[in-house]
Structure 1
Amino acid sequence: MSGLTGKTALVTGASRGIGRSIAERLAAEGALVAVHYGSNEGAAKDVVNAIHTAGGRAFPVRAELGVDGDVDTLFTGLEEGLAGRPLDILVNNAGFIDYDATVDSVTHQQFERLFAVNVRAPLFITQRALTLMPDGGRIINISSGVTWFAIPEIVYAMTKGAINVFSRSLAHTQGVRGITVNTVSPGVTETDMNGWLSDRDAAKAIGDLTALGRPAKPADIGDAVAFFASEDARWISGQTLEVNGGLFLGPRVQR
């Protein structure tokens, strides 16, 4: 795979889990990475330090998403760290799930918060990023398998469905600039959001539903994002890649 030396990248929600893996992989390929975080400054510094220790380049950027002024705060820090450089790669990864936001119990406040962070923020971050992005840039949005299999947390699933539509429409409008837009849709992944996977029986149950026999690890997702960010993916746009190890393909074959 072609590297990213000389490129710059912003990864939202990069202080842990999938976002951290994406930031570290892009930095390993040579990109200068802006590690966005919402509140956990220590975790973001850990990511930046890990990238520096591995020989990469990164800087932290703080902005709470889903609140008034979030995009302005984010880009003030981003542009300071870029120091006049363009933004070549945007990864809209930040998001959260509210396990109480089911059809039976979701409140207006929960609904608004989920859409503010998971949908509104990526839209307006992208709007601003496009003013810094040169022709031929890369936008990768992180969605979820819940767009095609059902879960009780209906509002979270709705936000990820919106992201899938956002990617396709954005790919269509930005193609004239040579900017590719794609979606990476993880399956069940071992992250803080899915802390229930720390239970051995739960992890085994997911493994039994997956052709490759295990839940995903964050690095499995980070590697796929790095491909879309690379020159090798120059002719791929408007696509959703399910990175799930063969989840729900059918009963496991017994040998």
Structure 2
Amino acid sequence: MILGIQHEHGTGPGLIGERIEEAGLKLDLRHPYQGEPLPADLSAHSGLIVLGGTPGAGDVALAPWLPAVEELLREAVRDEVPVLGVCLGGQLLATACGGTVTVAPAAQVGLHPLGPYPAASDDELFAGFPDDGRAVQWHWDEITTLPPGAVPLLRDGAFPHQAFRLGRRAWGVQFHPEVLLGSASEWASGDSPQLAALGLDVPAMLGRIAEAEPSLRALWGGITDRWLALVREPA
């Protein structure tokens, strides 16, 4: 059983959840913003997914459960429980293990290309990452320093820490592999003042995501399947 942590309404597991269901695995999705408790440890779970959300990695006043999430992430890294941290989840993996997160000089929203670092070539998730790989981005903060021992895997021109691995089985990503057009449309509607302030052409952005949806499904669905294969393996 995989433990999932969702930080607010509308930021569920999306494509990742679909692949978990198709694989016949169970997702124990917790909603601490609704008062649901988090487990004290990971003894009943074989994997950990920490999703994104509006709070920053240090916003304990807004999201008082974040220190407990960081403790679960440290336990997972130590005990080699497979981890997938998405956007805020990736930032929390970084801060939990000695990295830093700050407000980005500029927000990154929409469909953006990603490029691999050399270490991606033999990574269990990102080996063979395509030259035209893209993902949906939706973040105002960024990972500025990776934790000690972290391996950088993906980058883009403005944000060097788009994906990293920590230990053998923990991955953090700054982007949203779970997000397709449906979620992006909902987020664009909810964040319309912020997107207007950025000067984004929202219909054009959503059109690019719609056009790319088949390739996004193939790329991030396949990488999710690789992660799920690790969940099935004994530690």
TM-score, normalised by the number of residues in structure 2: 0.46
Higher strand share: 2
Higher helix share: 1
Larger radius of gyration: 1
TM-score, normalised by the number of residues in structure 1: 0.43
